[in-house]
Structure 1
Amino acid sequence: MTKNKLISSLGEFGLINSFSSRIKNDSSVLVGPGDDCAVIKWDKAKLLLFSCDMIIEGVDFLARDKPELIGRKALGVSISDIAACSGVPKYAVVSIGLPRKSKLEKAKRIFNGLNSIAREYSINIVGGDLSDSDRLVIDTSILGFVEKRRLVLRSGAKPGDVIFVSGALGALGSGKHFKFIPRVEEARYLTARFDISAMIDISDGLVQDLKHITDRSSVGALVYYSKIPLARGVKDARRALASGEEFELLFSLPKKQAAKLIMERKYKFTPIGEVVDKKKGLKLIGPSGREMDICRFSGYRHF
């Protein structure tokens, strides 16, 4: 019976799908649930991007973590969503749940972190809400804009495309989950010069987020173990496959443009695989050339 069924039996993405399948939006919504941002009609040249994220003490950070870094992360994860669609973030509202016994100094330091990254990316914080809570919770909602011709979703990858990633992976435990750089500049650079077919930011792990692209694009993918760029000190690429909260860009583009991108020197973009037919699934090509089912390296899930 469904009334006694636990949400863990569906899992995070199963629960999302069960809700989103019942949502009916009007024609102003071009893209609803299922991508990094909702995409809404705006004017003849631009589209409105809308996203939100929530971070919770004990899940996304610890009470002992620096308040400034907590505030920075809260807005940074939402900025990264806008970047994944090649947009420019513009407005944000922030809601915070705080235990009533929290020290005022801590609350100020959290705000300083929020305000600092907002100023860094020229984002206007235009409102929000405060509430009493048994632990610290921060929810951010963000609006951005993207030119129609530069919008990138998870759903455009095609067989033959080359898969790239920005930066280096596997740095979990190094503090990158607080100090990451939302890749707005890199995304804008890419879409100004290349035909990026699909893109996502790596928040739940390389494998899991690549699966979001392959599912939405109805394709398969091959990832080459030896090609994955590893963060300093990381020796095993298996760590990079499942490491979440990297917030690097994972994207695809036509093979004929891949060579040109590899030659680019302004930013680090590394080819790690290729898009294939859906029936080939999602596979990891190991150092010996043997195929492995990559899905066993699953990333982070809330349930």
Structure 2
Amino acid sequence: MKPATIAKAVAALGLISAVSAYAQSYGNCVITGQKGSIPIKPFIPGQLTVQTVLPAPGWYNGDTTATIKDGFEYCMAANIAYRAGLDKLVIQNVSRDALMTGRTKDFDLALAVVSITPERKKVVNFSVPYFKSNIGVLVKSGSKVTEENIRSKRIGVRQATAGYTYATTFLKPTEPLKVFADTTEVFTALAAGQVDVAMSDTSYLLGQAAKSNGMMKVVAQYSSPQEYGAVFPAGSANEAAINKAIEEMKADGTLASLEQKQLGEKWGTSPAAIPFWKP
């Protein structure tokens, strides 16, 4: 073979390698496990299509699907894609209400900080749990909310959430709950002084506190049995394989590592460091 021909062949191989490296790109995520160990039948061949609800700091670091390079759930999805032998990961931003009423389509799974509840299980199919979250107490920095006086404060919650259920069932405040249609509305009300406390998942509140530039702080949490699960599309043939991947990532320390790096380091503290109050 002539030198020029060899050079072209080497260049072509380099291009192929570059294309392959680009194609199998999972942002800034650390990938573990064995590629192709859990073969699935993706909705679109060659890619894992994952739905979520943005913004979700810590879980997906970026406000648009094009800017996300890491985050707990993003990197969890990347590891599932790798173990499924898929070189491409595509994130779709959807409405939470549409997702939780089974109205979203054309995806493989959703990772969207969704608590598994008996009511939701009647509507959508969940994976095995992958994260445990308690109920946090978010206040404006300098607030005088304490374990002793929280019941007399104006508490904001999102309707039909674990925070709402916990407040009404266990905390039972003396002031009427302020119920909002969306969690972002709860945060806006807290910033505006319309409520004294925002109650939701500790992990979710830590993300909000981290991006508030010191204006808000998670001062406590209440113990809760709630756990997060992936949501599968109706009739998915991949539930067993993806559940296997999640169990393996729990067993081999992948999810624990993601919690520390993607949540603890990004937020400046881990959920485990937040003190517990009693209702």
TM-score, structure 1 as length reference: 0.22
Structure with the largest fraction of strand: 1
Higher RCO (CA 8 Å, separation ≥ 6 residues): 2
TM-score, structure 2 as length reference: 0.23
Higher Cα Rg: structure 1 or 2? Answer: 2
